[in-house]
Chain A
Amino acid sequence: MRISTAYPQQFNINSMANQQAQLTNTQAKISSGKKYLTPSENPSAAAYSLGFKESIALTTQYQENIAAANQRLGLEETALTNVTDTIQRLQELGLQGVSDSGNSTISRNAIASEFEQLSDHLLSLANTRNANGEYIFAGTKSTTMPYSKIVADPNAPVSDTPAPSFVYEGSTMRRAIQVGISRTITDGDPGHAVFGSTQDGTSVFDAIKKFTAELKADKPTLETLKQIDDALVRVTTVHASIGARQNALDRQKATNDDFIINTKTALSNVADLDMADAITKLNSQQTSLQAAQQSFAKVQGMSLFKYL
């Protein structure tokens, strides 16, 4: 076959330039750790890795939501433990007050005054605020103080069933937090679900108020004390549901963690460079480039004109 003198030179230069380009490409991949430098190298991998990154970011956001919900439920739980202790103390004192044996008017008055103290303590618990300054038992009206005590006119006559002197100004709506693709969890409970309704007079405060009045009148009834028991049942029910929600959050968190790890593995398989493979490739590309350079230098020197 006949060959021209100029073409092989150009051909060799082209092929060395190609090898250099490949070497640079491999080197860029090694230094960036990416399997593909541009999406065009593998369009479907590029689309997959965008999708994976998107899923990872979204699930990481859910983990943050879970942390926030957990923190809020934890705060509520502490408050409710306190509420439970307080109501139990009320029950204890109430039973003492109701029992006939050795209860003087004086000791019933002492119990009544402790009842008033505990009622105020419960009120402050019902108005607990979180680190953001939001009232945790106000439902979605989280900047409004949910419970307020309206001090009755001291001159007014004490009636048998006192007019409601406590008002709930929070909302009855719960806030749902997204913790998984199709999963939301409420991050708190509105006050009326925990402490009872002030509107129809069935709240724990109304019960205490009523029982205190009975104590002061020296005729405490088991019937009224039963209302305090009911309040405790309501609180423990909510308390249990918080536990259930915290468990659900933990499970969701674990699921999300698994998902993130799996997706990261998938992303890594699609997008991360196999270093050993790349370095082997780099070595072989280097060798072939050197070979091309050496043979080029040798062949270039050959010409019949040298011998004329």
Chain B
Amino acid sequence: MPSGILGTALTGLMAFQRSMQTTSNNVANVNTDGYSRQDTNLMSNPSSITGAGNFVGNGVDVNSITRNYDQFINSNIRSSASSLGDASAFQAMTAQVDNLLADPESGMSNAIKSFFNSVNGVSSDPTSMPARQVMVSEAKTLSTQFNIVSSRLDTLRAQNNAKMQESVDKINSFTQNIADLNVKIASLTSGGGTQAPNELLDQRDLLLAQLAGHIDVATLARPDGSIDVFIGQGQALISGDARSKLELTNSTTDIMQKTVLMNGYDVSSQFSSGALAGAIKFRDQVLDPAQQQLGLVAAGIGQAFNNIHTQGIDLNGASGKAMFTFEPEQIPVFSSIGNAGGYIKATFDSATLNQMQASDYLLDYAAGSYTLTRLSDNVKVMLPTGGLPTTVDGINITQVTPPAGTSSFIIRPTYLAARNINAVITDPRAIAAATTSGDVGDNTNALALAGLENQGILFGGNTLAQTYQTLVAKVGSSANAANVSLSAQKALNNQAIEARASFAGVNLDEEAANLIKFQNAYQASSQVIAISRSLFDSLLGAIR
């Protein structure tokens, strides 16, 4: 059956041409991100039955062109991308705080040291005007350095907020693109069958991996080829062609905090991984505690110094004035949005300075009574019967005007202390180096002031320097852990990428070998056509 030979050879030509096309597509996409190597799957055509009852083959057909895809490998890529995004966002920011605090030039260490040196200078030479002038200047340098470090932390906060915004914007753009792809893929696969729009699927997988870098997601495939994406406990980020937009807004209770909203609901605690989670983790675990602890040192130095200084007598014979003030107020109290009025005032309690903690406090008012929560460990602090005024953890809280209804207040004794501290004495004669004698050469009070450096006046019996060192060590440990976890996550992510690359990536040698194979087969099929022609020719020649 010459026509049979010709037809069969033609199916081979077609199939190998398609195979070579796939190979050339693989070669062309050797460096394409997210591309999965494609295979042309051939299947022999159903055979026909001859009159004698033999089955004769009818050549080959391209059954499908499939991509090398493994669900497990892809979900691994996504989860490792989330962890990596988390670790790198956290590490990048933490390293900056680490450098800021530990650097002797930019940190507080030198300023505290120089300040106490100058106090020692006055104590060993109380009549010397230059020594007094140096102390006045060093006090100003100290308060300014607190302000500077605090503003650097504020800058990092702004940077972190900007990163959160960037993540939210990217997440929104990725989800939009994925939803769009869902629509296209569903329309192309709606006919059912085994054919799939490979390139679109690759693109969607790539987008999902990029999305996962910012927020950890779970996916669920639909029968129509589209994919649903969830965050947290199953809140749908993408459902078929619809997606929910994320939004970054100021928190209602704390104007300095940012909250992630989805459809108007706070979902900040709904994701545990990805760059967005890394930024939130940095804020909650590194930046806020650092600012609190720095504030504790500032509040401690200011209060302890004022306590002693106001007991002394200056060169003019007057009682010592406060050396440091906290402007605009000692302890800021923020009313939550939606409060029913009320005015709460808080001040430092100098007698219980050593009980002050690096924490914010939440004061809730309901049905005529107050409850106070320390936010660093979420411990409810007992208030005496009768409520306010009271003194807890080194702070005095008084009610100036009672709220008309349920209200809450955030009390921040340390959070803003480093920003607000200011050295106010400018006259060197106003340094109260003497005690009650008021003698010019009396250094008793200056000696007491200098002695503050070595006294465990702060929480846990720590000195000022120790409290600062604790801060440096804490941030250092976080940064160290961040570095370790970043390199671990990088390795894991690389392993996932490598696993995908070895499964789905293009190998040029392999493609070259395939090309030779398909070329040979194509040439063989062509030879079959040539032979079938010569068969026909010889038949014609026989009857001529």
Contact = CB atoms under 8 A, between A and B. Distances in A.
Contacts of B437: 140, 171, 173
Interface in B76-104: 94-95, 98-99, 101-102, 104
A219 interface: no
Interface in B429-474: 434, 437, 439-444, 447, 450-451, 453-454, 465-466, 468-470, 472-474
B117 interface: yes
A233 interface: no
Contacts of B466: 51
Interface string A93-137: 000000000000000000000000000000000000000101000
Interface in A33-58: 38-44, 46-47, 50-51, 53-54, 57-58
Contacts of B513: 304
A173 B98 contact: no
Contacts of A40: 94-95, 98, 476-480, 482-483
A181 interface: yes
A64 to B, nearest CB: 8
B439 A39 contact: no
A138 B440 CA distance: 11
A176 interface: yes
Given A139-B439, A177-B443, A178-B447, 12 more contacts: A2-B502, A4-B506, A40-B480, A43-B473, A46-B476, A54-B113, A64-B124, A68-B124, A140-B442, A140-B443, A141-B440, A176-B447
B113 A5 contact: no
Interface in B492-543: 494, 497-498, 501-510, 512-513, 515-516
A3 B507 contact: yes
21 contacts: A1-B502, A2-B503, A4-B502, A4-B507, A40-B476, A40-B477, A46-B476, A51-B469, A54-B469, A57-B113, A58-B113, A64-B124, A69-B124, A134-B441, A171-B441, A175-B126, A176-B443, A176-B444, A178-B123, A303-B512, A305-B512
Contacts of B468: 50
For the side of the interface on A, what is the size category?
A: 35 or more
B109 interface: yes
A39 B501 contact: no
A142 B450 contact: no
B479 A38 contact: yes
Contacts of B95: 38, 40
B505 A47 contact: no
The 7 A-B pairs of least Cβ separation, nearest first, read: A4-B505, A142-B441, A43-B476, A40-B479, A7-B501, A39-B476, A140-B439
A175 B505 CA distance: 82
Contact of A7 (B102, B476, B498, B510): B498
B475 interface: yes
B454 A177 contact: no
Contacts of B128: 132
A4 B505 CA distance: 5
Contacts of A2: 502-503, 507, 510
B30 interface: yes
Contact of B443 (A5, A38, A51, A175): A175
A61 B454 CA distance: 13
B501 A3 contact: yes
A299 interface: no
B469 A50 contact: yes
Contacts of A68: 124-125
Contacts of A44: 473
Nearest to B453: A58
Contact of A61 (B117, B125, B507, B516): B117
Contacts of A187: 124
Contact of B515 (A46, A173, A175, A308): A308
A192 to B, nearest CB: 14
A165 to B, nearest CB: 25
Contact of B439 (A38, A69, A171, A176): A171
B473 A7 contact: no
A132 B440 CA distance: 13
A129 to B, nearest CB: 11
B472 A5 contact: no
A65 interface: yes
Question: For B30, B469, B470, which residue has the most chain A Cβ atoms within 10 angstroms?
Answer: B469
Interface of B: 30-31, 37, 94-95, 98-99, 101-102, 104, 109, 113, 116-117, 120, 123-128, 434, 437, 439-444, 447, 450-451, 453-454, 465-466, 468-470, 472-480, 482-483, 494, 497-498, 501-510, 512-513, 515-516
Contact of B501 (A6, A134, A139, A184): A6
Contact of B512 (A138, A143, A304): A304
Specify the main secondary structure of chain B where it touches its partner: helix
Given A68-B124, A140-B440, A178-B447, A304 B509 contact: yes
A139 B497 CA distance: 80
A34 to B, nearest CB: 11
B441 A177 contact: no
Contacts of B37: 4
A11 B465 contact: no
Contacts of B515: 308
Question: For B113, B450, B475, B516, which residue has the most chain A Cβ atoms within 10 angstroms?
Answer: B113
Nearest to B504: A4
B60 to A, nearest CB: 24
B148 to A, nearest CB: 18
Contacts of A53: 104, 109, 113
Given A11-B498, A134-B441, A181-B454, A38 B98 contact: yes
Contacts of B442: 140, 171, 173, 175
B475 A39 contact: yes
Given A6-B31, A38-B99, A39-B98, A65 B441 contact: no
A14 interface: yes
A74 to B, nearest CB: 15
A142 B440 contact: yes
A90 to B, nearest CB: 30
A7 B451 CA distance: 63
Contacts of A54: 109, 113, 465, 469
B441 A46 contact: no
A5 B508 contact: yes
B435 to A, nearest CB: 9
A7 B441 contact: no
B512 A46 contact: no
Question: For B102, B128, B479, B502, which residue has the most chain A Cβ atoms within 10 angstroms?
Answer: B102
Interface in A59-85: 61, 64-65, 68-69
Nearest to A66: B124
A3 B501 CA distance: 7
A51 to B, nearest CB: 6
Nearest to B102: A39
